Amino acid sequence: MSGIVIDGQRESIERELIPAERIQTRVRELGMQISSDYAGDNAPLIIVGILRGAVVFMADLIRAIDRPTLTIDFIAVSSYGASTKSSGVVRIFKDLNESVEGANVILVEDIIDSGLTLAYLLDLISRRNPASVRICSFLMKDRPRENPLPRVDYIGFDIPDEFVIGYGLDYAGRYRNLPYLGVLSLTAAE
Ligand code: IMP
Ligand code: MG
């Protein structure tokens, strides 16, 4: 039996969905695209990571962007409620350190599931008079949504509607350190 048992539940990685090498290739492509999209624009470019899931993706992404004046900032949010379902109620634990006024902002997400976290943050940041706001998400889940999604300018991968872990994404705080993206399986432990 593989995996680990926590609180009577066996957690194991059912399969690898996206290998590490493919992730690295795609992130370099996104970095090149962002570099060229902002090349002629002299406003400051601030990459805003949504903690904690976006940290791994963002660390690789910023090193793939060629721009000497790039800066980074972070915002920490959490949806209320536990487990593998998004509740839509967003709470801010840590706000941005810097002002975004007059800057081009790229909001970096790990995954867009319901899209509610993103819609909330896009609205919040847009009210602070940035020159522009774009969204870059490592993953986009293919699923029906009740609310329309905001425009997502950069997407790493479209994935099926399954619960995934690794490359920053967690289950109960674990698995963020995996270099690849996997599908988690939960079963009752004997
Ligand atoms: P949304 O507000 O429903 O789009 O949910 C966004 C947040 O839920 C993400 O930033 C993740 O932290 C979390 N999330 C959604 N789907 C998954 C998943 O498959 N694995 C791990 N976390 C997920
Ligand atoms: Mg999470």
Catalytic residue IDs: 113
Residue indicated by tokens 């624009």:
41
List the beta strands (DSSP E) in the chain.
4-6, 9-18, 45-51, 71-79, 90-94, 104-112, 132-141, 154-159, 164-165, 181-188
What tens digit of pLDDT does each residue of 126-166 get?
999 999 999 999 999 999 998 889 999 999 999 999 999 99
Atom of ligand 1 nearest to the CA of 169: 21
- On the question of pLDDT at 16 being above 70, the answer is yes
78 lines ligand 1 (CB under 6 A): no
Ligand nearest to the CA of 178: 1
Local structure of 153: helix, strand or coil: coil
Pull the structure tokens for residue 74: 């972070």
Q: Look up the pTM and report it.
A: 0.93
Atom of ligand 1 nearest to the CA of 163: 19
C-alpha to C-alpha distance for 122 and 135, rounded to whole angstroms: 8
Residue nearest to atom 15 of ligand 1 (CA): 113
Average pLDDT, the chain: 93
